[in-house]
Structure 1
Amino acid sequence: MNVKGHVTLKNFFIFNSNYGPREGEEEKKTLYFFPSTTDIDSQIKAIGLCEAVVKFTETFSDKPCEALHTQKTKQLFLEAEPDFWIIMTVAVPFSKKEKDDQSYYEYREEDVQNSVYRAVLLQTYKMFKLFNGTFVNILERSGGDISSLKHRLEHFYSRYLLTLKLHQSDLLDVFNGISFLPLDKNTYLQIQCLINRLEALFPTIKYTAFLYNDQLVWSGLEQDDMRTMYKYLTTSLFPSHLDQELHGSSTRSSMTAPGGTHFGKFVTGPSNLDDSSSLGKVPRVFIQSDTENEECYLLVYKALSASICMLISVNSTMNFDFFRTVDGFLGAQMSKVASDISEQYPRKSVASNTDPQFKYVYFNHMNLAQKTTVHIDIRKLSGVNIPQETLRLLGDINSDLTRDNEDGETIVKTASDFWVVGKKSDQREFYVVINQKNANLIEINEEVKKLCSTHLNSIFFLD
């Protein structure tokens, strides 16, 4: 009998020790606790233990505590803002085995990699900050009302934590990169011209981003803002909109405009421009680009496979006429641009296919560009096409290269005869899995060089 467990979320909580400094006031430290059914005494004990661990580790290092390991759990620590701690505890996977007619559990702590799950924890904070602003900013806007902060934490995390797929977390969560779509110069300039005209015609649009098939083409946002926005768009907003379309919720698929039929529609905003009562919902987001916690409306418009995201000042008026005017400007032009891209997109896709013997992950720290053939799809809905043990090995190699903070290379041969190579150079990282049993080290090194020159245009290494 061999029953395998999965990585699961045991608890998740946020606290600030300054809010309950005296004995008997400990429960005031708790700002949010999941699961909500946990009794107060257990919450106080969990937070007290974390406080003790943080204080104890401060005596040995200037760096804050990052993780606490036990046989059955791993606890990840993040000081998101000064004195505001976010803690996530995950259950370690296990196997139920039998020996001499006795059952026992074998815990596999190597399945829970600190770097991966700390990245997941950091993402939970960045996603909260995107829709609510920083903890300190919420308190400032509410005049120091802690209950206002608690309400926002409860409202966001009670929903967001249910969407976490911890058992699918891997190296891509560490990078949290962006998949870019390379285009020819003429098409790229056509998109740039469209965005310039859009922003000139509608001055309230402060930032713009253009995507095609979940790949970024152009962005006017700062990198860190775009990284979080990209994660939200590709893993939440676009998939939910697609589900609505598949279930027939979208009421308008095309419209006749002066330039001909177009296929433009709002993803956020009015679902039907023929009905003035269907204004829809436009989410608010907080951007850290020009000024910290700058609040904007997120208006998303889509035509075929192309999407344009417009961040609009919250001080502007967004009535039904505004949406109609935006639609009148974007509809036909977005439809034409999407058609132009689709003509060259299949060729790009075919050109990017790699030899089945090679699977790789590439990440560029300078522009956050990310490419993977290890994952069947970029959103990791269909899993990976290499063994899980090999995927974890990629994470281990990444941790080693990151720890030294220097350029380097690691080559490993696994027990299942896979060759795994990790390289870091000039702010770029490249990991490749090669399925060649009888190859030697020299041959593998040559194959990696050949792969880089073929698929990454020789831009990576400084040989």
Structure 2
Amino acid sequence: MSGGQASLLHFYVFNTEYGPKEGEEHKKILFFHPPDVDIDTQVKRIGLSEAVTRFAATFSDKPCQSMHTQQTRQVFFEPEPCFWMVMSVSIPFKEKVKDGQTVTEYRDDHVQDSVFECILRQAYKMFKLFNGTFTTILMRADGNVDSLKQRLEHFYSKYLLTLKLPQGDILDVFNGITFLPLDKNTYLRIQCFINTLEATFPFIKYTSFLYNEKLVWSGLEQEDMRIMYRYLTASLFPTYLEQELQGGHSRQPSGFGHYGKFMTGPPDLSDDKNMGKVPRVYVNTEELDEECYLIVYTALSATICLLVNVKSPMNVALCRKLDAVLGPQMSKLASDIGEQYSKRVAALNTADPVFKYLYFNHMNLAQQTTVHIDLQKRSGVNIPLDILRLLGDINADLTRDNEDGETMVKTTSDYWVVGKKSEQREFYVVINQRSANLIEINDEVKRLCNTYLNSIFFLD
């Protein structure tokens, strides 16, 4: 028998200032998963978490981040003053028969703190994208805690079902953005298109442009774009594609001479009464928790995200005007970009499959990888899982020291694993070459850097 994968045991949010008197401890609880846990157990778990974080605070200026036990791993995060989020994960195990007795071996190394801490932070940031901060929600509700509880319940009861904890890895730590390199003329055409669009429709506050799930242009702040990119590529795009494959959407020309369609917004422009689903999001570009409508429009493989201030009235008639402008121009841009993109993909596919790499730039959040088969769906990896975990361990070491450095490891399975950190950039290479020596591997890493990382944003 084995429990080969980590699984979510508990997830809860509490406030240390609520319920200060004995017998009122339950008032601290803002959200608890699973919901069928009795209130006494909830209070005990939150009490233990509060005790652990306070005890740890006596030894360090940094907040407590995790607690290890034989069977579980707890990670802690204080996103706002006095608000704590806690996630408890099971440790994978395997049962063996030894000397006639069953022995349980827990695989503690399969659960990496850095990965699960980032998954917990991601859970907060995704909530904040669609609801604003905990503090802002309370301010809007005149301090009514029930309003915050309702928001937490509504969001996390669905969000936690989408978590894929066993697939968590170093990409969750980086949570980067994949950019699409274009020649400068095409890039300028897209920029001019966006400038004209925002001038024509002044209610559009911020715009982002993507092609084939890769970012080309964004008018948002980095952190806002980072979480928006995660939502688009991990949730909205896959859901839309699934509906499309099931016949929920048509890719045929809409009757206006183009292939454009609204992903969020009116599903049928001839129906004035149906605006469809238009999410509200909160960004922090010009002001704290600025509320906007998110209109997402796609044509072929190009997608544009329009953030519209909620004070601006949105209706189908306005969307028809948007469609008339977006459809033809987006279709043309998508066709032109597609020619460049197909040539680049063909060139990359000729690369030596022996080498897999992962690159991340902390300054602009740019990310590139050939380690994952499908970057957004996380459908698999091109290297053994123990090698993937080794990448996470090397990253944790480089992050802990907070200095530039390089690590080279040769595993018992004859893989060479190299991790480099320099000037806010991290580069990892996995090489399956048994006969290579240290000097040859070092030369190959330099060659790979020169080959793949000189065109993150622009093609030569």
How many residue pairs get aligned? The number is: 455
Matched-pair contact (CA < 8 Å) for 2:73–2:90: yes
| Cα-to-partner distance string for 1:199-224 (whole Å, 9 max, x where unaligned) | 00111100000001100000000000
Corresponding position of 1:100 = 99
Query: Could you say what secondary structure the match of 1:159 adopts?
Result: helix
Corresponding position of 1:230 = 229
User: TM-score, normalised on structure 1?
Assistant: 0.97
Query: Could you say what secondary structure the match of 1:183 adopts?
Result: coil
Corresponding position of 1:385 = 382
CA distance in 2, matches of 1:418, 1:139: 52
Matched-pair contact (CA < 8 Å) for 1:211–1:308: yes
| Cα-to-partner distance string for 1:388-424 (whole Å, 9 max, x where unaligned) | 1100000000000001111000000001010000000
Corresponding position of 2:315 = 319
CA distance in 1, matches of 2:251, 2:185: 31
Query: How is 1:115-126 mapped onto 2 (pairs within 5 angstroms)?
Result: 115-126=114-125
CA distance in 1, matches of 2:455, 2:308: 40
Are 1:8 and 2:7 counterparts?
Answer: yes
Matched-pair contact (CA < 8 Å) for 1:253–1:265: no
Corresponding position of 2:432 = 435
- By how many angstroms is 1:5 displaced? 2.2
Unaligned runs of 5+ in 2: none
CA distance in 1, matches of 2:252, 2:143: 47
Corresponding position of 2:66 = 67
| Cα-to-partner distance string for 1:38-70 (whole Å, 9 max, x where unaligned) | 100100000010111111111110110000000
| Cα-to-partner distance string for 1:267-291 (whole Å, 9 max, x where unaligned) | 0010011222321011000001111
- By how many angstroms is 1:186 displaced? 1.5
Query: Could you say what secondary structure the match of 2:226 adopts?
Result: helix
| Cα-to-partner distance string for 1:79-135 (whole Å, 9 max, x where unaligned) | 010000000000000111111222121100101100000000000000000000000
CA distance in 2, matches of 1:32, 1:112: 24
Matched-pair contact (CA < 8 Å) for 1:209–1:309: yes
Corresponding position of 2:177 = 178
- By how many angstroms is 1:358 displaced? 0.4
Query: Could you say what secondary structure the match of 1:267 adopts?
Result: strand
Query: Could you say what secondary structure the match of 2:312 adopts?
Result: coil
CA distance in 2, matches of 1:99, 1:227: 49
Query: Could you say what secondary structure the match of 2:427 adopts?
Result: strand
- By how many angstroms is 1:380 displaced? 4.1
Matched-pair contact (CA < 8 Å) for 1:168–1:380: no
Corresponding position of 1:373 = 370
Q: Give the letter for the 2:82 counterpart.
A: D
CA distance in 2, matches of 1:267, 1:379: 18
Corresponding position of 1:446 = 443
User: TM-score, normalised on structure 2?
Assistant: 0.97
Q: Following TM superposition, where does structure 1 have runs of at least 4 consecutive aligned residues deviating by more than 6 angstroms? A: none
Query: Could you say what secondary structure the match of 2:264 adopts?
Result: coil
CA distance in 1, matches of 2:116, 2:55: 22
CA distance in 1, matches of 2:273, 2:289: 31
CA distance in 1, matches of 2:444, 2:251: 51
Corresponding position of 2:396 = 399
Matched-pair contact (CA < 8 Å) for 2:76–2:117: yes
Which stretch shifts more, 166-175 or 446-455? 446-455
Matched-pair contact (CA < 8 Å) for 2:87–2:120: yes
CA distance in 1, matches of 2:247, 2:353: 38
CA distance in 1, matches of 2:378, 2:449: 27
- By how many angstroms is 1:256 displaced? 3.6
CA distance in 1, matches of 2:255, 2:28: 58
| Cα-to-partner distance string for 1:129-163 (whole Å, 9 max, x where unaligned) | 00000000000000000000000000000000000
Matched-pair contact (CA < 8 Å) for 2:204–2:307: yes
- By how many angstroms is 1:76 displaced? 0.1
Corresponding position of 1:139 = 138
Query: How is 1:218-257 mapped onto 2 (pairs within 5 angstroms)?
Result: 218-250=217-249, 253-257=252-256
CA distance in 2, matches of 1:92, 1:128: 26
Corresponding position of 2:423 = 426
- By how many angstroms is 1:248 displaced? 1.1
Are 1:307 and 2:314 counterparts?
Answer: no
RMSD of Structure 2 on Structure 1 (CA): 1.2
CA distance in 2, matches of 1:159, 1:184: 41
Q: Give the letter for the 2:156 counterpart.
A: Y
Change (3 A) 1:410 1:380: farther
Q: Give the letter for the 1:163 counterpart.
A: T
CA distance in 2, matches of 1:215, 1:233: 10
CA distance in 2, matches of 1:418, 1:367: 30
Matched-pair contact (CA < 8 Å) for 2:74–2:86: yes
Are 1:272 and 2:264 counterparts?
Answer: no
Corresponding position of 1:51 = 50
